[in-house]
């Protein structure tokens, strides 16, 4: 067990959990998004204490020199004092890339025909999501979502765009990606994989460019420096924070795994839904 000092308060971190998991377990409103080191939303600075080998994975030399590390990857090897990294310079969020001469249209009969009226689209998406789910940078954003479910939702979204049929009833891109901290560079990286899949399945180049224009029209709804609240009409739902619930039936603590009996009050994270028993809730040391 290690002690992590944060904002003048001490928190206990078990040897088998990351600092991010320890903070969430103890009810700290701590910044994060992917929880696997891809987005860098949780970057903090270690003012005291040694860093584990994986704590700085993927950070550039400048950030490493500042003592920056990723709490979502860091399992402590020492007591630590950590502070938020001070943001400097321009945001990495940028306006959408300018459209090319191959502007997308909706509906788009030519595109739908080239996609085999769905058969080629299905093959493209299967190829694409197979690669995404095996990609260390992109896979964390699909935690808890099966590959087949991701394919089905994207198929219906694209079918509606290309045919005009009302077949997609899921979230719009802004809500679907509201919690994901995605940079322009990561957006472009994901796009490069999609473009490669489209070309591999024989989509003509002018239609590849039209597909890219469609995806880039959503860039401003996806690229951001911190999570956004999810909107339903005029209501904004929280993206972070905790609430408490008195259980009607027993459950298991998502942190320590012990049983939580019916009638016990437990804490849960509003976005993740992770449940914490009273022992884990009370682990913070004043």
* pLDDT tens-digit readout, 86-132: 865 544 455 545 545 556 778 999 999 999 999 999 999 999 999 99
Q: Are residues 43 and 117 in the same domain?
A: no
User: What CATH number has the domain bearing residue 41?
Assistant: 3.10.20.30
Element (H, E) at 236: strand 235-237
CA distance 267 to 251: 12
Q: For residue 94, tell me if it sits in a domain.
A: no
Residue 33 belongs to what domain range? 2-89+237-281
Q: Do residue 9 and residue 47 come from a single domain?
A: yes
Domain end marker among 175, 196, 224: 224
| Residue 196 token pair | 């490669």
In a domain, 230, yes or no: no
Spatial distance between the Cα atoms of 124 and 48, rounded to a whole number of angstroms: 49
pTM for the whole thing? 0.81
Establish how many alpha carbons lie within 13 A of residue 147's alpha carbon, considering only the half-sphere containing its beta carbon: 14
| Domain end among 194, 224, 254 | 224
**CATH of residue 215:** 1.10.490.10
What is the number of domains present in the chain? Answer: 2
Residue 98 lies in a domain: no
**Cβ-based neighbours of 189, under 8 Å, separated by 6 or more:** 137, 138
The CA–CA distances, whole Å, from 284 to 12, 90, 280 equal 6, 36, 9
Tens of pLDDT along 137-170?
Answer: 999 999 889 999 999 999 999 999 999 999 999 9
Would strands 80-84 and 230-232 be described as parallel, antiparallel, or unpaired? unpaired
Flag whether 96 is in a domain. Answer: no
214-246 pLDDT, tens digit each: 999 999 999 999 898 888 878 887 778 899 999
Q: What digits encode the pLDDT tens for the residues 49-90?
A: 999 889 999 999 999 999 999 999 999 999 999 999 886 554
């Amino acid at each position: 067990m290690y002690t992590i000092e944060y904002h003048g308060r001490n928190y206990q971190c078990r040897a088998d959990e990351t600092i991010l998991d320890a903070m969430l377990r103890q009810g700290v409103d701590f910044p994060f998004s992917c929880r696997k080191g891809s987005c860098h939303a949780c970057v903090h600075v270690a003012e005291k204490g040694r860093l584990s080998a994986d704590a700085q994975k993927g950070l550039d030399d400048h950030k490493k020199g500042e003592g920056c590390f990723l709490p979502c990857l860091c399992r402590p090897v020492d007591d630590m004092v950590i502070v938020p990294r001070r943001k400097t310079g321009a945001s990495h969020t940028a306006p959408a890339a300018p459209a090319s001469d191959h502007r997308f249209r909706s509906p788009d009969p030519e595109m739908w025909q080239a996609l085999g009226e769905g058969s080629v689209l299905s093959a493209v998406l299967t190829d694409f999501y197979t690669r995404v789910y095996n990609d260390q940078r992109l896979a964390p954003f699909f935690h808890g979502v099966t590959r087949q479910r991701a394919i089905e939702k994207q198929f219906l979204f694209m079918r509606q765009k290309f045919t005009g049929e009302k077949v997609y009833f899921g979230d719009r891109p802004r809500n679907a990606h509201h919690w994901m901290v995605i940079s322009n560079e990561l957006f472009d990286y994901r796009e490069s994989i999609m473009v490669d899949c489209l070309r591999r399945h024989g989509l003509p180049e002018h239609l590849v460019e039209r597909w890219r224009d469609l995806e880039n029209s959503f860039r401003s709804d996806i690229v951001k420096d911190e999570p956004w609240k999810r909107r339903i009409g005029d209501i904004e739902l929280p993206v972070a924070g905790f609430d408490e619930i008195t259980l009607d039936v027993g459950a298991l603590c998502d942190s320590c795994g012990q049983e939580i009996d019916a009638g016990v009050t437990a804490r849960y994270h509003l976005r993740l839904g992770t449940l914490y028993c009273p022992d884990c809730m009370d682990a913070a040391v004043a």
